[in-house]
Amino acid sequence: MTTLPTRSGLAELSAQGRLGLAWHALPWVLAFVVFYMAEGYLSLWTNALIMILLTLSLDLALGYAGIVTLGQAAFFGFGAYAAGLFAIHVHNDPLIGLVTATALSGLFGFVTGILILHTQGVTLLMLTLAVAGLLAEWANRAYEITGGDDGLQGVRMGPVLGLFRFDLYGKTAYLYSLAVLFVWFVVVWRIIVSPFGRSLDGIRQNPARMRAIGTPVWWRLVAIYTISAAMAGTAGALSAQTTRFVGLTTLSVLVSGTALVMLMLGGTRRIYGAFLGATVYVIVQDYAAKVNPFYWMFFIGALLMATVLFLEGGLMDLGATVRKYWRRAPVKKP
Amino acid sequence: MTATPALSVSGLSKNFGALAVAQSIDLDLVPGARMGLIGPNGAGKTTFVNLLTGMLRPDAGSISLGGEPIDRLKPEDRVRRGLARTHQINTLLNETSVCENVAIAIAERDRIAWRTLRFGPQWRACLDEAQDRLRQIGIAEVADRRVSELPYGQQRLLEIAIALALKPRVLLLDEPAAGVPSAESHVIHDVLEQLPADIAILIIEHDMDVVFRFAREITVLVQGRILTRGEPAVIAANPEVRAVYLGRSVV
Ligand SMILES: Nc1ncnc2c1ncn2[C@@H]1O[C@H](COP(=O)(O)OP(=O)(O)OP(=O)(O)O)[C@@H](O)[C@H]1O
Ligand SMILES: [Mg+2]
* Nearest C-alpha in B relative to A1: B128
3-class SS of residue B96 = coil
Task: Please give the average pLDDT of every successive group of 10 residues along chain B, which has 251 residues.
Answer: 84 93 95 94 94 96 95 95 96 96 96 88 94 95 95 95 97 93 88 94 89 92 92 87 66 45
The Cα A96–Cα A174 span in angstroms is 18
How far is Cα of residue A316 from the mean position of the Cα atoms in its chain?
Answer: 16
Spell out the domain ranges in chain A.
Answer: 41-252
Q: What is the pLDDT of residue A11?
A: 46
**DSSP, res A118:** T
Element (DSSP H or E) covering residue B38 = strand B34-38
Q: Which residues of chain A have pLDDT under 50?
A: 1-12, 331-334
Q: Are A265 and A314 in contact (CB under 8 A)?
A: yes
CB contact under 8 A, B166 and A213: yes
Half-sphere exposure of A308 (CA within 13 A, CB side): 11
* Nearest C-alpha in B relative to A217: B76
Q: What is the pLDDT of residue B125?
A: 95
CB contact under 8 A, B104 and A199: yes
Q: Euclidean distance between the first and final Cα of chain B, in Å? A: 31
Other CB atoms within a 10 A radius of the CB of residue A244 amount to 16
Q: What is the pLDDT of residue A330?
A: 56
A299 burial (CB, 10 Å; 0-12 / 13-18 / 19+) is middle
Q: Ligand 1 centroid vs B33 CA: distance in angstroms?
A: 25
Q: What is the pLDDT of residue A333?
A: 41
CB contact under 8 A, A195 and B114: yes
| Residue partners of B42: CB distance under 8 A and separation at least 6 | none
Closest ligand, as measured to the CA of B55: 1
The minimal CB distance from B97 to the residues A5, A209, A220 is found for A5
What residue's CA is closest to ligand 1, atom 11? B42
What residue's CA is closest to ligand 1, atom 26? B41
CB contact under 8 A, A2 and B55: no
Going from the N-terminus, what domains does chain B have, and what CATH number goes with each?
A: 7-91+167-244 (3.40.50.300)
What are residue B170's DSSP bridge partners?
Answer: B83, B200
- Alpha-carbon distance B55 to nearest alpha carbon in chain A (angstroms): 9
Q: What is the pLDDT of residue A12?
A: 47
Convert the pLDDT of each residue in B225-250 to its tens digit.
999 999 988 888 888 888 877 555 55
Residue of B21, B88, B211 to test ligand 1 pocket, by largest number of atoms within 8 Å of CB: B21
Complex-level ipTM: 0.92
Give the alpha-carbon dihedral of B196, B197, B200, B201, to 10 degrees.
Answer: 70
- Chain A neighbors of B146, CB-CB under 8 A: 5-8
* Nearest C-alpha in A relative to B144: A5
Q: Are B117 and A189 in contact (CB under 8 A)?
A: no
